[in-house]
Structure 1
Amino acid sequence: GRREGVIVEVVSRAHETVVGRYFEESGIGFVVPDNPKIQQEVLVTPGRNASAKVGQFVEVKITHWPTPRFQPQGDVVEVVGNYMAPGMEIDVALRTYDIPHLSNGLCSLNPLVDRLAMVCEMTISKTGEMTDYVFYEAVIHSHARLTYNKVSSILEHPKSAEAKQLRGEYGEVVPHLKQL
């Protein structure tokens, strides 16, 4: 016959929070998820709507999971913004599909670490016109983790205590900074 099974335990949930539009009917708040894969509306716990207004996009944290008899319930943890506000579709998409922010460590030029890069080398005429360009892959190998403020201190205030300390720390790259 046909194979059958029974859910014994839910180990993890795909969505701890849901992003959608907040609505009220007869004094009961609910969120219509923006993600089309989530079919059920989420009831908002009374008094836990974070002062959301009807039609606003909100993020709701699920506090009670759906059962065969009850809808999911949750608390509004953030009012994301107004429907049709500039940039709102991007904010909603990032939250709805859980797109991560770029990692500072993953995307930064860390010292003594090779980073793959795509280069666009351009030739610019004296009149500011781009006359040629070529794309190619490269590897960046940074020798120091410098901020704009550190470089400014080294170059613009060379006699300051901070600049002296930084020159000691980054002595090998200081000549290159001066050439830039």
Structure 2
Amino acid sequence: MQTKDIREKILNFMREESYAPMTSEELVDALGHDVNPNKFWDELLALEQNGEIIKTRFETYGLPEKMGLVAGRFQLTSKGFGFVIPDNKGDRPDVFIPPRALHGAMNNDRVLARVNNAVQGKKPEGEILRIITHANNKVVGVFHQTGDFAFVTPDDKRIGQDVYVMRKHFNGAKDGQKVVVEITEWPQEHRKAEGKVTEVLGNIGDVGLEILSIIKQNDLPLTFPDEVLEASRKVPKSIKKSELAGRRDLRERTVVTVDGEDAKDLDDAVYVEQINDNEYLLGVYIADVSYYVTEDSVLDKEARERGTSVYLVDRVLPMLPERLSNGICSLNAGEDRLSMACEMHIDKMGKVLSYEIFPAVINVRHRLSYNIVRAILAGDKEMCDKYEDILPMIARMDILRQILHDKRARRGAVDFDLPEQKVILDEKLHPIEIVQRIHGNAESIIE
């Protein structure tokens, strides 16, 4: 029996209405052949340590919610109070925790709290009993030296308290610098957290310091491990003829990409053709990353760990090394690329008549930007002359966009056209202007 199965057996048994707290011996006897006795003890301990079950002073076990307790994530506000967001929330309300009842808990810690049923209010009120797991083992902030000791004031005001640093742990930090401090002693009720400086990020006002601080505060990776880079170097820069077997060859189609001006990794492309007076063919082509990043490979594990690419004001932290994200896995114009295709036949009312998903090979004809498409739709002569070969398709794309928009409107969809800003940087990465992003037909074509 798998570990997960044993834990679910224990939890499901305790969730039964008739369950009353039992000792570990009584539990294993009651579960009988449903669990492996040799693994039962380890899983019971793991559930207790994770706060999913509680061990009472009578050496019996039960669920927190049946004992007036709540396990969950603690969310601290900048005003000093916070809330415990319960695990498996469902219809269970958050638990308000006043400043006097934090007992050393920090923002995003996983905690166990007792609910005070005597306090009346819209939200239940409680106090932190135990910190199950700490979330802030590293903190970014400003280093303030006072004689032989210092304090680091966190950038994130929700952390709620300074971190004390002894002189032997300054590691070259100077007063007023931005640093990363690793917590070595967690806070107690009347005692601040202690830590040591692990990295000096720079002086206040340095170019790029605030972005670097955000990266460090969120523990975002700036580099890839050597084994990941080595694996990426083994991926070819171009596709081989043998790799085309079993793929539909669509390289003659006028497929285009449409992205922002500063996009680097181009992972989707489109094509529109009018079949007859009542039918359009819409082709959407996604870079076939899975061909190069196979399941459970070094590259796959790194990508899963990162979860997504992160787009910041002055840089992108990619999910995959640049050789893949900007190379073979990017649908660069004029280069053969492997893709997964979805081709749909859509009528003039926006109804999808049929669709097909299949592996393909494409060659993007043009790398377009929203500004280019916007200019073409507005009749800009220079852009229309430059992209004369795809003018009819751009017009069809806009027609199909309107058809699909009208269909959404008929179905009662809400159009959230919210303003969005973009920070313009100069060559030295200083912000020089904040402009509102244009969101028009060009953007809607892709969306």
Q: Is the 8 A contact 1:64 1:73 kept in 2?
A: yes
- The percentage of counterpart residues that share the same residue type is 30
- Rounded to whole Å, the distance in 1 between the matches of 2:186 and 2:192 is 7
Q: Is the 8 A contact 1:35 1:97 kept in 2?
A: no
Which is helix-richer, 1 or 2?
A: 2
Please state if 1:52 is matched with 2:190: no
- Which position in structure 2 is the counterpart of 1:36? 157
- Rounded to whole Å, the distance in 2 between the matches of 1:144 and 1:16 is 35
- Rounded to whole Å, the distance in 2 between the matches of 1:4 and 1:74 is 31
How far apart are residue 27 of structure 1 and its match?
A: 2.9
How far apart are residue 64 of structure 1 and its match?
A: 0.9
- Rounded to whole Å, the distance in 2 between the matches of 1:51 and 1:102 is 24
- Rounded to whole Å, the distance in 2 between the matches of 1:63 and 1:95 is 18
Q: Is the 8 A contact 1:119 1:138 kept in 2?
A: no
- Which position in structure 1 is the counterpart of 2:212? 91
How far apart are residue 103 of structure 1 and its match?
A: 7.5
The letter of the residue matching 2:182 is K
Q: C-alpha root-mean-square deviation of aligned residues, in Å?
A: 3.6
Distance 1:49 1:102, change over 3 A: closer
Q: Is the 8 A contact 2:148 2:166 kept in 1?
A: no
Please state if 1:119 is matched with 2:257: yes
Q: Is the 8 A contact 1:16 1:62 kept in 2?
A: yes
The residue matched to 2:175 in structure 1 has which SS? Answer: coil
How far apart are residue 45 of structure 1 and its match?
A: 2.4
- Which position in structure 2 is the counterpart of 1:66? 187
Q: Is the 8 A contact 1:59 1:76 kept in 2?
A: yes
- Rounded to whole Å, the distance in 2 between the matches of 1:62 and 1:96 is 13
The letter of the residue matching 2:285 is A
Higher relative contact order (CA 8 A, sep 6+): 1
Q: Structure 2, unaligned stretches of length 5 or more? A: 1-117, 237-242, 244-255, 260-268, 271-283, 294-322, 325-447
Q: Is the 8 A contact 1:61 1:77 kept in 2?
A: yes
The letter of the residue matching 2:150 is G
| TM-score normalised by the chain length of structure 2 | 0.25
Compare CA radii of gyration and give the structure with the larger one: 2
Distance 1:140 1:67, change over 3 A: same
Q: Is the 8 A contact 2:151 2:163 kept in 1?
A: yes
How far apart are residue 43 of structure 1 and its match?
A: 0.7
Q: Is the 8 A contact 1:56 1:81 kept in 2?
A: yes
The residue matched to 1:51 in structure 2 has which SS? Answer: coil
- Rounded to whole Å, the distance in 2 between the matches of 1:88 and 1:4 is 40
The letter of the residue matching 1:119 is T
| TM-score normalised by the chain length of structure 1 | 0.57
- Rounded to whole Å, the distance in 2 between the matches of 1:88 and 1:16 is 21
- Rounded to whole Å, the distance in 1 between the matches of 2:175 and 2:257 is 47
Q: Of the candidates 5, 9, 12, which is equivalent to residue 133 of structure 2?
A: 12
The letter of the residue matching 2:146 is E
Query: Map of 1:94-109 to 2, 5 A cutoff?
Result: 94-99=215-220
